[in-house]
Amino acid sequence: MTIDQIKAMNKPIALIGMMGVGKTHVGKVLAKRLGYEFIDTDQTIEQDQGRFITQIFAQQGEAAFRQMELAAITKALQAPNTVIATGGGCIKTPAIRKAFAQSALTCWLQATPEQIFNRIKDDTTRPLLQTENPLQTLRPTVRAPTLLQRRTYPCHNRIKKCGYGRG
């Protein structure tokens, strides 16, 4: 798909995928290239709440965070000339999947568990990595969204497999 074709769609671009696949990095580069606004929904939530995502999870739980995430994504989808980097777990929320299918060009970024681990292994804010064998913990988690996303977007051309080659 060319830049002109993307712009002609007049839809926001939503980047989804596991933590550490590069949604923020790719989103910033893509937004600059297209002349679009860039929104990172995790950063939006942290700014709105005045605390980190890990604190929200610890203090209010995942369900409360997912409601905040839904609100942030719903708001971000209102602007057509926008690239949106989402949280890694957003695709688990049915209302978010529906919103993406209706309102966005959705790009699914992928990486191997080893690539993800190498990118985020020093990030102590990732609860998933705070185990005895973080890479072993990460492997099934990386595969699970793949199955969900394939079921959610069967043959839609809504999900575009992307990567930015930083292995």
d(CA 90, CA 41): 10
Contacts of residues 90-95 at CB distance under 8 Å and 24 or more positions apart, as own/partner, are: 90/16, 90/41, 90/66, 91/16, 91/145, 91/148, 91/149, 91/152, 92/66, 92/145, 92/148, 93/66, 93/69, 95/70
- Give the per-residue pLDDT at 99: 92
pLDDT of residue 160: 41
* Domain range for 152: 3-162
> For position 7, what pLDDT does the model report?
84
> How many domains in the chain?
1
Q: Which CATH number do you get for residue 142?
A: 3.40.50.300
Tokens, residue 30: 């893509």
Taking the model in full, what pTM does it have?
A: 0.81
Q: What is the pLDDT of residues 42-85, one digit of tens each?
A: 999 999 999 999 899 889 998 999 999 999 999 999 988 999 99
Residue 124 maps to a domain:
yes
**Residue 83 resides in a domain:** yes
In a domain, 27, yes or no: yes
In a domain, 167, yes or no: no
pLDDT of residue 165: 37
Q: How far is the C-alpha of 65 from the C-alpha of 56, rounded, in Å?
A: 6
| Helices first, then strands: H and E counts in the chain | 7, 5
Q: Tokens representing 60?
A: 């209010």
CA distance 67 to 50: 16
34 lies in some domain = yes
Give the per-residue pLDDT at 45: 97
Query: Which parts of the chain register pLDDT below 70?
Result: 127-130, 140-167
Q: What is the pLDDT at residue 89? A: 84
Q: Is the Cβ–Cβ distance between 100 and 14 less than 8 Å?
A: yes
